[in-house]
Amino acid sequence: MSDLEGMRNMNVKHAIALAISVVASPLLAQPTPIKMSIAADGTGPKIDRNIFGQFAENLGTGIYGGVWVGEDSSIPNVRGMRSDVVSALKALKVPSVRWPGGCFADEYHWRDGVGPRAKRAITVNGSWGNALEKNDFGTDEFFDFLNQIESEAYISVNMGSGSVKEAADWMAYMTADPGTTAGAERAANGHREPYRVKFLGIGNESWSCGGAYSADYYVDEMKRYARFTRNLNIQQQGTDNPAGGSVAGTDPMQRIAVGPGSMDTAYTEAVMKAWKGHDWSWSIEGLSMHNYTWMSWPPSFSSIDFGEREYAMLIKDTLKMEDMIRVHSAVMDKYDPAKKVPLVIDEWGVWLAKLPGSRDGFLHQQNSIRDAIIASINLNMFTRHADRVRMTAIAQMVNVLQAMILTDGPRMVLTPTYHLFKMYVPFQNATRLPIDFDAGTYSFGDVRVPRIDAIAARGTDGKLWIALTNVDPSKPAQIDAQIAGIRVGAASGTVLTADRVDAINSFDKPDTVAPRPISARVTGGRLQVTLPPKSVTVLSVTP
Q: Which residues pair with 467 in a beta bridge?
A: 455, 538
Distances (CA, A) of 46 to 211, 322, 391, 408, 491: 35, 19, 12, 38, 23
Crossing angle of helices 266-276 and 320-335, rounded to 10°: 30
Residue 205: active-site member: yes
Residue 347: active-site member: yes
Helices (H) and strands (E) counted in the chain, each on its own, are 11, 27
The number of C-alpha atoms within 13 Å of 89 and in the hemisphere containing its C-beta is 31
Catalytic residue among 57, 133, 285, 347: 347
List the one residue out of 374, 322, 335 whose CA is nearest residue 257: 335
DSSP code of residue 504: B
- Coil/strand/helix, residue 22: helix
Distances (CA, A) of 129 to 294, 321, 363: 20, 28, 10
List the one residue out of 282, 281, 254, 279 whose CA is nearest residue 340: 254
| Residues whose CB is less than 8 angstroms from the CB of residue 437 and which lie 6 or more positions away in sequence, other chains included | 34, 35, 36, 37, 452, 454, 481
Buried b (16+ CB within 10 A) or exposed e, 6-44: eeeeeeeeeeeeeeeeeeeeeeeeeeeebebebbbeeeb
Residue 543: enclosing H or E segment and its boundaries? none
Q: What distance lies between CA 464 and its chain's CA centroid?
A: 23
d(CA 353, CA 365): 7
List the one residue out of 447, 464, 446 whose CA is nearest residue 525: 464
Q: Which amino acid is at 52?
A: F
Distances (CA, A) of 351 to 307, 343, 390: 17, 21, 23
**What φ, ψ does residue 484 adopt, rounded to 5°?**
-105, 150
Catalytic residue among 107, 141, 205, 285: 205
d(CA 133, CA 215): 31
Q: Which amino acid is at 40?
A: A
Q: Which amino acid is at 143?
A: F
H, E, C per residue of 199-261: EEEECCCCCCCCCCCCHHHHHHHHHHHHHHCCCCCCCCCCCECCCCCECCCCCCCEEEECCCC
List the one residue out of 280, 156, 159, 158 whose CA is nearest residue 219: 159
On whether the CB atoms of residues 352 and 302 are closer than 8 A, the answer is yes
Active site residues: 205, 347
